[in-house]
Amino acid sequence: MKNNTSIIQEKRIGHAGSGMAVLLGVILGYILVSLLMIWSILRNGGEGGLLTFVCILLLGILWIPLLGLRILKPQEALVLTLFGNYTGTLIGPGFFFVNPFSTSVNPAARTKLGQSSDVDGGNSGIRAQLQLKTSSGTTELVSKKISLKVMTLSNGRQKVNDVLGNPVDIGIAVMWRVTDTAKAVFCVDNFKEYLSLQCDSAVRSIVKVYPYDVAPNIDTTGDGVADDGSLRGSSEVVVNRIREELQKKVFDAGLEILDARITYLAYSPEIAAVMLQRQQASAVIDARKMIVDGAVGMVEMALERLNENQTVVLDEERKAAMVSNLLVVLCGNHDAQPIVNSGSLY
């Protein structure tokens, strides 16, 4: 089966006329036809004739060229169709005139993404907007223009299980833009919703191969070798993989993913307290290990110095008692209370 996405190619309209010339021409035409009709009526003594009928007919159809006027600002585009056929994309800025019967197409016109600077209504031309009935009965102007600016998609937080099965809440911000207006309009139903859904899919497919923190025997790169990759410690690697995965998914929609950033990362509330206790216990163990290692080194140094200087000769039993006392002093949580021995050592 042939893939239709390869058929749609963006065609930029380079022969659009000047909208100001057409607007002035229509105004001048109305003035001339009105004067001609008045002259015809006065010539016939107040009675209408064939010329008067022609003037009235012209007054009724001279407004049709106004339907072809289009106003575009920088970084805006209009996808135009004529009787269902794609005729091209008008890219501004400027005041243009195209076929009056052309229709502007943008299925994502009413879709607003989180934190995205979608184009609002503004002065978008006569046919560049669509009047829609809202639930309250009022009309709303919806712009059919497609923004070519860099926009930000923030889908909010979503819950994903990491490679160890722990639920993690993660939020991603994606910077994107439209690069092919024809693909964006005709290859997917709604390119904004398509981007949002593919972003969720890319986040889940990448996050599930990483642990939240560094874990042993976990392969995050797929090369069969365990590594120290994690969501918290390898955020740059994670977002780059998400961006690459997302770019593959939205390429046929004419979109380009410029950058991606993690905006929120934490354990889900149901296990956050347990994981906090685990982290605290791990920190206590690491601190105790450091204290014990230091205390053993200090005891060894003390015994070596005493043996070198022959300050005190201790037998094995006294050495064991000294080691025990020093470890208690150095590893204890509280300050030791000294006991002064004023008698014999033994």
DSSP result, 122-179: SS--SSSEEEEE-TTS-EEEEE--EE-S-EEEEEEEEEEE-TTS-EEEEEEEEEEEES
Domain assignment of residue 340, yes or no: no
- For residue 337, is it within any domain? no
Query: What pLDDT score was predicted for residue 47?
Result: 62
End-to-end CA distance of the chain: 98
pLDDT for res 98: 85
Nearest to 68 by CA among 111, 25, 108: 25
Backbone φ, ψ for residue 335 (5° rounding): -65, 135
CATH number at residue 167: 3.30.479.30
User: CA 246 → CA 48, 105, 196, 240, distances in Å?
Assistant: 69, 25, 10, 10
| Residue 96 near residue 69 (C-beta atoms within 8 A) | yes
Say if residue 221 is in the same domain as residue 117. Answer: no
Residue 160, CA distances (Å) to 169, 183, 231 in order: 6, 31, 12
- Do 143 and 9 have their domain in common? yes
One domain, residues 260 and 294 = no
Final residue in a domain of this structure, among 124, 147, 170: 147
The answer as to whether 344 is a domain residue is no
Side chain identity at 132, as an amino acid letter?
L
Residues 139 and 9 in one domain: yes
Domain annotation covers residue 142: yes
Task: State whether 155 and 217 are in the same domain.
Answer: yes
What local confidence, expressed as pLDDT, does residue 130 receive? 40
Read off φ and ψ for residue 29, nearest 5 degrees. -65, -40
d(CA 241, CA 182): 27
- The answer to whether residue 176 sits within a structural domain is yes
Among residues 246, 267, 288, the one where a domain terminates is 267
Is there a domain that residue 85 lies in?
A: yes
Judgement on whether residues 175 and 251 belong to the same structural domain of the protein = yes
If asked whether residues 16 and 137 sit together in one domain, one would say yes
Query: φ and ψ at 103, to 5 degrees?
Result: -120, 135
Q: Are residues 162 and 33 both part of a single domain?
A: no
* 341 lies in some domain: no
* Together in a domain, 245 and 201: yes
The answer to whether 153 touches 199, Cβ cutoff 8 Å, is yes
| Domain shared by 8 and 143, yes or no | yes
* Residues 262 and 288 both lie in one domain: no
Count of structural domains within the chain: 3
Distance, CA of 102 to CA of 87 (rounded, Å): 8
Whether 167 maps to a domain, the answer reads: yes
Would you give per-residue pLDDT tens digits along the chain (346 residues)?
A: 344 445 578 888 866 678 788 888 888 988 888 888 887 777 776 666 777 778 888 888 888 888 888 888 888 888 888 888 888 888 878 888 888 888 888 888 787 776 555 544 444 333 334 444 444 444 455 678 888 888 888 877 888 888 888 888 888 888 999 999 889 888 888 888 899 889 888 888 888 888 887 777 777 777 777 777 787 888 888 889 989 999 999 998 889 999 888 888 887 777 656 556 666 666 666 677 777 777 777 777 777 776 776 666 666 777 777 777 676 766 666 666 666 555 555 5
**Domain around 318:** 273-331
Q: Are residues 235 and 155 in the same domain?
A: yes
Distance from C-alpha of 129 to C-alpha of 110, rounded to nearest angstrom? 11
Pick the last residue of a domain from 219, 249, 267.
267
